[in-house]
Structure 1
Amino acid sequence: MSFLKGSSTWEPVMTRNTSSLSYWFNWRVMVCSIWLIISLVFSFFLISKYEGWPKGKNRVRFEEQEQEVEGILYEDEVWRPCLRGIHPGWLLVFRVLAFVVILSVLVLNVAVDGINIFYYYTQ
């Protein structure tokens, strides 16, 4: 429980100069950039596969199939999940549980560091 007796202010320690080339040409930056590029390629693949871009003659057929006007939200669609297999009650329980967990983390953070943690966000 050493985090309870620490100081109330935290200041980051500047360890390296980020404007030098040696900072950017190391293996950590390379791993992060490869990871980012892989996720971008994977998301592009999924979007092009499931969303697709209609071409030429198919575009007319695609527009004819789309009957509903976009932007209209019916009364029963507000609280219903997109997946049919998820019961709305379980979704509500998940949301309440997530709210309680996040609220408890915020209360603990205020108890440890004080109300001054919100000062930065209100400047």
Structure 2
Amino acid sequence: MENSGDKGAAEGVGYWLQWQVLLSALICVLPTVVAVRFLRRIGGGSDPLKSVDLWSPCWRNLHPRWLLFYRAFAFITMAYLLYETVAALGFIVFLFYTQWTFVLVVVYFGIATLVSIRGCRKPGEKESNLGVDEKLGFLEHLMQIIYQTSAGAIMLTDIVFWCLLLPFMLGENFQLTLLIGCMHSVNAVFLILESALNRMVAISFS
């Protein structure tokens, strides 16, 4: 008669050898390896960010107010989606990691909007007169930390949801709605566009 303990151990090992688990591990490990190599390459030689880098677009001909409007739009849209999700499903949604990463991006765009408002109100808007000796304050440091944290978090959650979970969840017990789809995609879309617009290309540890 087979020992129940040995059978349980075998089933436990079998669980960790499933392709879904291995793929999830790769999703976590590969970006980490790329990030470490990237940080080792630029960490020692990159110039520290200035205040102007957090509210000026990377495109020279694009006025900072456009980045402000975009951040405000992203904040309002995501806050509305979060409100609709909680109103429809209740606070139980915060038992899931996805909602917390979504909230993190909402907080980022809220802080980024405030930083952009403060930057656009400064006298003189020529780049030669902006941010030469300005250093990051608490709000700017917090904005940069949340930006770097949420970027990896939302990519992980969205990829896992669309590529690993959703194909096996579709059925009688689960129905993909527009709201659920937005909660697992809008955050990534907004943050990718933000990355294409802002000037936070250097990573500062000073």
Which TM-score applies when normalising by structure 1? 0.49
Q: When you count helix as a share of all residues, which structure comes out higher?
A: 2
Which TM-score applies when normalising by structure 2? 0.32
Question: Which structure: larger Rg?
Answer: 1
